A = this chain, B = another copy of it.
Amino acid sequence: MKITAVDPFYLRMPNITTAADGTQDTLLVRIRTDTGLEGWGECDASPLVSLAVYCCPMSHGNIINIRTSLIGETLEGPADVVRLSEKTLRNGLDIQQIQHAYSGAEIALWDVIGQQLGKPVYRLLAEMSGTSDVAHPKLPYASVLFGDTPEATYHVAVRLCEQGYRAAKFGWGPMGKFGEANDIALVRAAREGMEPDAKIMIDAGVVWGTDYETAYNRAEAFAEFSPTWLEEPLAPDAIDAYGSLTEKQPSVPIAAGEGSSVYRMAEDLIVNGGIQFVQIDAGRIGGIMPSFQVRQLAEQHGIQYVNHTFKSHLSLASSLHVFATNPDFDLLEYPAAGSELSQSVVVEPFPVESDGTVQVKELPGLGVRVDTEAIRRYLAPVRIEVGTDTVFEQTPL
């Protein structure tokens, strides 16, 4: 079959705030083929900047947009996805945003191929890599922001507990901004609000920059509340600082990696940063295949791969296929407090099963269907003119 259309859609809530809530807007990508098949993917990135990568006029042989690279191409199997990814990334070598933008298209290509071949994406990955094709359930952790105060955080935790979550990650907000005592009070509140045997994770939201001493001290101070990890205490590319931090062997394991916009950033964090949990967003790093490669690297290094997902269940689906078949990688970031937009994207979100786990769907492709009716009201149509040319005009949803 041939790719006939590659369409990005910028969706957003009516009011956007500075809160670290990535579900306030999104960029979806739809790919259509001449057989009538349709695949979808979601980017976790600035919608407008990423959309520009789909339509920017050519600058030279290293700045060619994604639509030009994909439309008219042949798509028959997983090898074509790999080939088209190489082509698109090579054509966009000098576009820094290329991975963020291409992620949505790459995921959509897998969705199409899975439907075409009648298999879930995780099985296609297993076949390609010659590894197990048995999917295992994951323990979902609710991913929420800290409340503005310890008290508010406590109530967030209690609510999650009542909703049945056995694990929850608390992040950003006041963490790191009002001194050690407040940081500890926030973590204590999260722990006390959850059941004693529940897992809690702490996301420091890159707040200590390159200051690994403070990060180490906080990790030690948080240890009494037994968090599963301390996430992103440092800036995403502060590799030396991560290396210095992990060399001190803090009592709480260090997690990082969501900012990996290329495979090398994740590899660098693992090899030189010494992290123990690597968190990859398939909607940023260039899609499912580079995420799968990081999963394989994590397996080689004996550390744990975790998804980063702070978008809709379309993103959750793509994330799950990447590591569904590794039973040791048993934690799943599960967006629990997303916007209405984010909750409207797919027709049937991933339920938390009665045993408290979440499973990949045994359906062709990603296994989720986009609810175009529901999301239409969030569409922000884009129009871009350059000189006398209209280089982008919104396609209807």
Residues of A within 8 A of B (CB): 10, 12, 16-22, 24-25, 44-49, 51-53, 55-64, 93-100, 206, 236-237, 239, 259, 261-265, 267-268, 272, 284, 380-387, 391
Whole-angstrom distance between the Cβ of A111 and the nearest chain B Cβ: 23
A268 pairs with B264, CB closer than 8 A: yes
B49 pairs with A12, CB closer than 8 A: no
Which B residues are CB-close (under 8 A) to A48? 52, 55-57, 384, 386, 391
Q: Considering only CB atoms, which chain B residue lies closest to A392 in the complex?
A: B384
10 closest A-B pairs by CB: A97-B97, A18-B61, A48-B56, A380-B387, A237-B264, A96-B100, A52-B52, A383-B385, A49-B52, A96-B97
Question: Given the interface contacts A52-B48, A53-B49, A96-B261, does A16 sit within 8 Å of B384 by beta carbon?
Answer: no
B95 pairs with A45, CB closer than 8 A: yes
B391 pairs with A387, CB closer than 8 A: no
B19 pairs with A61, CB closer than 8 A: yes
Which B residues are CB-close (under 8 A) to A46? 52-53, 56, 59, 63, 94-95, 97
Which B residues are CB-close (under 8 A) to A96? 45, 49, 96-100, 261, 284
A-B contact pairs, 25 of them (CB 8 A): A10-B386, A12-B57, A12-B59, A12-B387, A16-B57, A18-B58, A18-B64, A20-B60, A20-B62, A24-B59, A25-B57, A25-B59, A45-B63, A45-B94, A46-B52, A46-B97, A47-B56, A48-B52, A48-B384, A49-B97, A95-B97, A96-B99, A96-B261, A264-B265, A382-B386
Which B residues are CB-close (under 8 A) to A62? 20
Query: How many identical subunits does the complex contain?
Result: 2
Question: Given the interface contacts A16-B57, A59-B24, does A95 sit within 8 Å of B386 by beta carbon?
Answer: no
Whole-angstrom CA separation of A77 from B135 in the bound complex: 58
Q: Considering only CB atoms, which chain B residue lies closest to A263 in the complex?
A: B237
Q: DSSP majority for the A interface?
A: loop
Whole-angstrom CA separation of A383 from B384 in the bound complex: 6
Which B residues are CB-close (under 8 A) to A51? 52
Q: 17 more A-B contacts (CB under 8 A) besides A17-B60, A19-B61, A237-B262?
A: A12-B59, A18-B58, A18-B64, A19-B60, A21-B60, A25-B59, A44-B94, A45-B63, A45-B94, A46-B52, A49-B56, A49-B96, A96-B99, A264-B265, A383-B383, A383-B385, A384-B385
Whole-angstrom distance between the Cβ of A345 and the nearest chain B Cβ: 16
Which B residues are CB-close (under 8 A) to A61? 18-20
A59 pairs with B16, CB closer than 8 A: yes
Whole-angstrom distance between the Cβ of A62 and the nearest chain B Cβ: 6
Whole-angstrom distance between the Cβ of A93 and the nearest chain B Cβ: 7
Whole-angstrom CA separation of A236 from B93 in the bound complex: 9
